[in-house]
């Protein structure tokens, strides 16, 4: 694809996106920015959540991962669905009953100010790093397709990318995101479905032939029960999926802002369950696409790239198919990537304004000024973090950041679990110490697990142990009742 065609595709997409953002957010106040005035239709939120949960990294990586993991990821996605039900019937009613703007306000009411700040800061660090990594990977793709051919520097790429995210979220926040994310979900699903159609057509497969080809492939194995030391082992993946969903959606300000924008908790529950089941089938489409991509390269003698993440971009933009496939890839990548970045920027603005700076006792006009300054500040920080990743130029740093992001949700999960399932009070001032020690213990456990546990290697289930260590630490900080 030519750089000009890529730019025209992106420009057309953002023209529609800005129009929707302007219409949805033109009358948004602080409540509209933070929680959408709690008037969002649940079915629109459910549809939008599909795109929100799928980042540009997922769009690029999942099709390629079938080479090493087959369909094992669906085991984790089944856990995601179970986790959605727990969020819907445990957390949603609690948050609506307390009428929260930031979900971390629960920690202040339950434990105290230190717990509140701890939850907010752990979320802030995790979300900023995660969002910056996702945008960084998109910037690399745009640099390859657009900025390098036009001899433009990476810093201009970053400024343009972050500026676009800021522009369509600065006015309406969540109120705009619900509708723009719906557009992104539509583009994402259509792009994947049409890519599957074009590849199947080139392979001379009708629908039944495509399904038969995928199910007969060695790459489509779904369940793994044989080896507990295998990272693909079913119960590892399934349990990790449940707790990952609870931590990274139910206890994530970014994701919960959408759910809290529904009219009432019953509508929010419908949204959670519908989006969870829908997400399963969307991920299945990505994995099916992966099998078809590897089948296509094998039949046409095309060498697979060294990194599986490069397979989909290579085939989609490499002139193997009609130009529409490359356009669909760009639209799908941009829609999924900017969905994650835009929602993260809004959530970071909300959390930093409400949780860290504080809004209690401030006038509406003063909060608006603070919110707008914070929104700009979050965009600048995100851009700087992307530039740091580029200077390090080391993909292992990306892996490390994702591991760090999973670690930071463990203490949040432990805090909420202790608060919900016990009635005990703890020494609030020591909670930050517990939240720091728990990930350190997990790091030690992960580094030594194979030596200590006969070859057992921790995978995503490390999040569960992180939360467990936090829970135990809080249990040691219980304040005894004075009789």
pTM score over 0.85: no
Q: Which CATH code of 3.10.105.10, 1.20.1730.10, 1.10.238.10, 3.20.20.10 fits the domain covering 3-475?
A: 1.20.1730.10
- The predicted pLDDT at position 4 comes to 83
- The predicted pLDDT at position 105 comes to 83
CB 188 within 8 A of CB 51: yes
What is the C-alpha to C-alpha distance for residues 132 and 17, in angstroms, rounded to an integer? 21
What is the C-alpha to C-alpha distance for residues 438 and 412, in angstroms, rounded to an integer? 11
- The predicted pLDDT at position 394 comes to 57
- The predicted pLDDT at position 339 comes to 64
Query: Which segments of the chain have a pLDDT < 50?
Result: 28-37, 172-173, 482-483
Helix axes 174-202, 323-351, angle to 10 degrees: 150
pLDDT per residue as tens digits for the range 319-331: 777 788 788 778 7
pLDDT per residue as tens digits for the range 382-395: 899 888 888 876 55
Sequence-ordered list of residues with C-beta below 8 angstroms from that of 319, at least 6 positions apart, any chain? 1, 326
Instruction: Write the DSSP assignment of 190-232 as a string of letters.
Output: HHHHHHHHHHHHHTT--HHHHHHHHHHSGGG-----S-TTSTT
Q: Where are the domains of the chain?
A: 3-475
- The predicted pLDDT at position 437 comes to 94
- The predicted pLDDT at position 32 comes to 45
What is the C-alpha to C-alpha distance for residues 248 and 343, in angstroms, rounded to an integer? 14
- The predicted pLDDT at position 24 comes to 59
- The predicted pLDDT at position 375 comes to 84
- The predicted pLDDT at position 169 comes to 65
């Amino acid at each position: 694809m030519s750089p000009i065609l890529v730019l025209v595709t992106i420009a057309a997409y953002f023209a529609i996106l800005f129009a929707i953002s302007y219409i949805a957010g033109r009358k948004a106040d602080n409540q509209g920015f933070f929680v959408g005035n709690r008037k969002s239709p649940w079915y629109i939120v459910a549809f939008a959540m599909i795109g929100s949960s799928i980042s540009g990294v997922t769009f690029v990586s999942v099709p390629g991962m079938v080479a090493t993991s087959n369909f094992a990821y669906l085991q984790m996605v089944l856990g995601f669905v179970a986790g959605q039900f727990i969020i819907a019937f445990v957390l949603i009613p609690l948050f609506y009953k307390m009428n929260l703007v930031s979900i971390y306000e629960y920690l202040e009411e339950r434990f105290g100010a230190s717990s509140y700040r701890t939850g907010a800061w752990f979320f802030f660090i995790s979300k900023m790093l995660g969002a910056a990594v996702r945008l960084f990977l998109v910037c690399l793709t745009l640099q390859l397709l657009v900025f390098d051919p036009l001899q433009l520097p990476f810093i201009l790429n970053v400024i343009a990318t972050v500026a676009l995210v800021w522009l369509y979220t600065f006015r309406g926040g969540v109120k705009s995101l619900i509708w723009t994310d719906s557009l992104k979900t539509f583009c994402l699903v259509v792009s994947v479905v049409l890519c599957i159609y074009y590849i199947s057509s080139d392979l001379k497969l009708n629908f039944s032939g495509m399904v038969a080809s995928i199910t007969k492939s060695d790459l489509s194995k779904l369940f793994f029960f044989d080896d507990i030391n295998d990272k693909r082992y079913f119960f590892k993946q399934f349990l990790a999926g449940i707790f990952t969903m609870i931590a990274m959606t139910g206890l994530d300000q970014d994701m919960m802002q959408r759910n809290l924008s529904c009219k009432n908790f019953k509508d929010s529950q419908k949204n959670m369950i519908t989006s969870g089941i829908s997400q399963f089938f969307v991920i299945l489409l990505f994995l099916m696409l992966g099998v078809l991509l590897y089948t296509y390269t094998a039949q046409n003698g095309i060498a697979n790239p060294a990194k599986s993440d490069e397979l989909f971009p290579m085939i989609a933009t490499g002139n193997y198919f009609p130009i529409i496939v490359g356009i669909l890839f760009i639209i799908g990548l941009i829609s999924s990537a900017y969905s994650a970045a835009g929602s993260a920027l809004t959530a970071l603005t909300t959390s930093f304004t409400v949780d860290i700076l504080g809004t209690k006792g401030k006038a509406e006009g003063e909060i608006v000024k603070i919110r707008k300054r914070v929104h700009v500040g979050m965009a600048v920080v995100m851009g700087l973090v992307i530039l740091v990743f580029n200077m390090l130029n080391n993909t292992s740093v990306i892996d490390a950041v994702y591991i760090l992001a999973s670690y930071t949700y463990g203490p949040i999960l432990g805090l909420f679990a202790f608060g919900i399932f016990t009635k005990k009070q703890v020494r609030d001032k020591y909670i930050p110490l517990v939240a720091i020690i728990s990930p350190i213990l997990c790091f030690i456990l992960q580094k030594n697990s194979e030596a200590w546990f006969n070859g057992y290697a921790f995978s995503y289930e490390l999040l569960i142990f992180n939360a467990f260590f936090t829970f135990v630490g809080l249990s040691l900080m219980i304040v005894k009742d004075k009789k």
